Amino acid sequence: MSIITGFTEPTQGKVEINGYNVSKKAKKAKREIGYMPETTPLYNELTPKEFIQYMAELKGVPRKTRKQEIERVMQAVNIADVKNRLIRNLSRGYKQRVSLAGALVGNPKVLILDEPTVGLDPKQVTQIRDLIKSLGKNHTVLLSSHILSEVSQICKKVIIINKGKLIAVDSPKNLENKTEKENILLVTVEDSENKIEDVAKRIKDINKIKLVKTLSDGTKQYSISSKDDTDIRKEIFSTFAKNEITIFELKKAEASLEDAFLDLINNQQEEPEKTKEEIKQEKKENKEKQKKEKQDKKAEKIKKNEEQKSKKTEKNKKKGGDK
Amino acid sequence: MWAIIKKEVKTYFFSPIGYVFIGSFLLMSSFFFYQYIFAYGYIEYSYLFYYTSELLTFTVALLTMGMFSSERKNGTETLLLTSPRSIISIVMGKFLAALIVILITEVFSLIYYVIICIFAGGITGLTVTLSTLLGFVLLTMSYIAFGMFISSLTENQIIAGVVTIILLLASWFLPDMSSAFNVISPLYQFQKFPEGIFPINETITLLTQTALFILLTIVVLQRRKNLK
């Protein structure tokens, strides 16, 4: 993210924003971006109004429209009621919104938001999410987040990057669907005689039945997996009822984006980890080789030295003898 | 650049730093002024600057220590570097903001000149005064550039401040050890100005020092961008 915003220079590759290369045409590229960093850095000694004004000036908002622009942004993020208080004294939620306002000012085409809802209370979180959604209508919003439920709520496209490698680019729904290989139902039943497994065998389409947990009121929760594209809820209901198993709850377990994420990461991790180990081993081997070589050289040197010494002593002896 | 100057000057006066700087500076120079006139009987404005320039060695760090270090610590550096402003204009903006604060102080210190003129019954020693003031501006420029450079090296304000003071002190005393150090001592260069002759060599030396450290600051910031 800091490479995209031009905060750090890339070592490889390039970033283009609306056709402007960030490292070569920095000024023009940066004008297209509104960036809200994760740590929401702000000048504590300024008021929100002054801060936004400063950001507007930095971004080169023309003087004529500056006042209007500042007002517009403050209304958009709803901070007009605290605009003259010092940022130092504002709550986390307000600070977050001031930071967002700073990113919004100047109406940039691309908004880059780094974890915009971290550390907010639930009400503020929904407010900010709604705001981001509405911003998405007029801006391209690039949002980074660890809260995947948030991502599946707000975003239209998800990019998953693991250890600097691109794993997936898709819509959240597609990603969720990909991991949904079979139907899983969650059933909570009262089954004092423990005959559920026998009963379940009678239903053709059930692949597997597994006890998830026993609840405190004596009921048990099972997960039942069946083949794809078959809905066995009706059948379960009727056969369980006939066999005097009372169903308390019956629901379909949906694959979330989190499952998709874990799936993708796990699939990808196996390979690089192996290579890493290999690299480590190679390094070790190399080191050992080098050590050996060094030791050999040392030994050789010592040998040579000793030989020379012995030669010298022999010579000396000879000299002594000559004398 | 103008936006940065404006904001920086504003923050100097929103935080106590600006007032502490101007206050302590004027307090001390008032004290020197009083001493000169009553204890030694020197009635000359430029003499005052021998002492105040030495005083500046200690106080300039107040203005420069937080320039880049506090931005880096608070993360607000990100805001500056991701804005469509070049590093050059960021550095120059901050440099000029600090210079403006010192110029404001200098304007205040003209009071002493007015007092002297009143008692002397007319304008006295104008050329010496002007040359001293010019020298003082050049000296502060060199000092600020140096302090700014130190501030860009660290994340810690205190370290930046202390290192700045120590190195400036060193540059003050080094010419006593060997004349070879004369060139690197801004204070030594300055002391030619109150003599009343406009010293071209010293002017150029001070300007070079200023340019050198501004350039080094820019290099430091640019390099950090590449090394992250």
pLDDT digits (tens, 9 = 90+) for B143-187: 999 999 999 999 999 999 999 999 999 998 888 888 888 888 888
Judge whether A264 lies within some domain.
no
| Statement to judge: residues A39 and A112 lie in one domain | yes
Pick from B14, B75, B225: which is nearest to A8 by CB? Answer: B225
Using CA coordinates, name the residue in chain B closest to A43: B76
The alpha carbon of residue A219 is apart from the nearest alpha carbon of chain B, in Å, by 53
- The CATH number of residue A142's host domain is 3.40.50.300
Pick from A6, A41, A59: which is nearest to B74 by CB? Answer: A41
Mean pLDDT of A289-307: 66
pLDDT for A323: 40
- On chain A, the residues whose CB falls within 8 A of the CB of B94 are none
- Token representation of residue B218: 């820019």
Q: Is the pLDDT of residue A320 over 50?
A: no
Domain ranges of chain B: 2-223
Please tell me which residue, A220 or A297, carries the higher pLDDT value.
A220
Cβ <8 Å between A31 and B84: yes
Judge whether A312 lies within some domain.
no
Residue A149's contacts (CB-CB under 8 Å, 6 or more residues apart) are A256, A257, A258
Give the lowest-confidence range in A47-51, B87-91, B221-225: B221-225
- Token representation of residue B183: 């060139």
pLDDT for B199: 86
- The CATH number of residue A240's host domain is 3.30.70.260
Q: What is the mean pLDDT of chain A?
A: 78
| Statement to judge: residues A142 and A47 lie in one domain | yes
Pick from B2, B74, B226: which is nearest to A9 by CB? Answer: B226
pLDDT for B218: 94
pLDDT for A318: 45
Model ipTM value: 0.84
Report how many domains make up chain A.
Answer: 2
CA B35 – CA B50 distance, rounded (Å):
13
Give tens-digit pLDDT for A139-167.
Answer: 888 888 888 778 877 888 888 887 777 77
Residue where the block lists tokens 């597609």: A174
Report yes or no: B34 at the A interface, CB cutoff 8 Å. no
Judge whether A116 lies within some domain.
yes
Pick from A31, A41, A57: which is nearest to B78 by CB? Answer: A41
Cα separation values, B159 from A38, A69, B167, B196, B205, Å: 27, 40, 12, 38, 27
CA B105 – CA B124 distance, rounded (Å):
22
| Statement to judge: residues A76 and A126 lie in one domain | yes
Other CB atoms within 10 Å distance of the CB of residue A191: 21
| Statement to judge: residues A68 and A121 lie in one domain | yes
Judge whether A130 lies within some domain.
yes
C-alpha closest to that of A228 among A263, A178, A172, A180:
A180
- Token representation of residue A167: 């794993």
For chain A, the straight-line distance linking the first and the last C-alpha, in angstroms and rounded, comes to 84
- The alpha helices in B44-155, defined as continuous H runs, are 45-64, 69-74, 77-81, 87-120, 126-153
pLDDT for B162: 94
The alpha carbon of residue A17 is apart from the nearest alpha carbon of chain B, in Å, by 13
Give tens-digit pLDDT for B33-54.
Answer: 888 777 777 777 777 788 888 8
- On chain A, the residues whose CB falls within 8 A of the CB of B76 are 41-43
Q: Is the pLDDT of residue A305 over 50?
A: yes
Judge whether A283 lies within some domain.
no
Choose the mutation target among A12, A24, A43 for the interface with B, i.e. most B CBs under 10 Å: A43
Cα separation values, A283 from A15, A163, A278, B175, Å: 34, 21, 8, 54
Q: Which residues pair with A161 in a beta bridge?
A: A166
| Statement to judge: residues A36 and A113 lie in one domain | yes
Domain boundary among A219, A252, A285: A252
pLDDT for B164: 94
pLDDT for A272: 46
Give the lowest-confidence range in A64-68, A315-319, B109-113, B208-212: A315-319
Pick from B2, B79, B82: which is nearest to A6 by CB? Answer: B82
| Statement to judge: residues A57 and A111 lie in one domain | yes
Mean pLDDT of B60-88: 88
Cα separation values, B15 from A44, A232, A302, Å: 10, 70, 69
Using CA coordinates, name the residue in chain A closest to B11: A45
Angle of helix B2-14 versus helix B87-120 axis, rounded to 10: 60
CA B75 – CA A35 distance, rounded (Å):
13
pLDDT for A169: 81
What part of B 144-203 touches A (C-beta under 8 Å)? Answer: none
Q: What is the mean pLDDT of chain B?
A: 87
Judge whether A40 lies within some domain.
yes
Cβ <8 Å between A28 and B84: yes
- On chain A, the residues whose CB falls within 8 A of the CB of B74 are 41-44
Structural domain containing residue A236:
180-252
- On chain B, the residues whose CB falls within 8 A of the CB of A35 are 78, 82
Per-residue HEC secondary structure of chain A comes to CCCCCCCCCCCCCCCEECCEECCCCHHHHHHCEEEECCCCCCCCCCCHHHHHHHHHHHCCCCHHHHHHHHHHHHHHCCCHHHCCCCHHHCCHHHHHHHHHHHHHCCCCCEEEEECCCCCCCHHHHHHHHHHHHHHCCCCEEEEECCCHHHHHHHCCCEEEEECCEEEEEECHHHHHHHHCCCEEEEEEEECCCCCHHHHHHHCCCEEEEEEEEECCCCCEEEEEEECCCCCCHHHHHHHHHHCCCEEEEEEECCCCHHHHHHHHHHHHHHHHHHHHHHHHHHHHHHHHHHHHHHHHHHHHHHHHHHHHHHHHHHHHHHHHHHC
Residues of A with CB under 8 A from a CB of B: 2, 5-9, 26-28, 30-31, 33, 35, 37, 39, 41-46, 50, 54-55, 57-60, 102
Report yes or no: B110 at the A interface, CB cutoff 8 Å. no
Judge whether A126 lies within some domain.
yes
Write out the H or E segment, with its range, that includes residue B8. Answer: helix B2-14
CA A42 – CA B76 distance, rounded (Å):
6
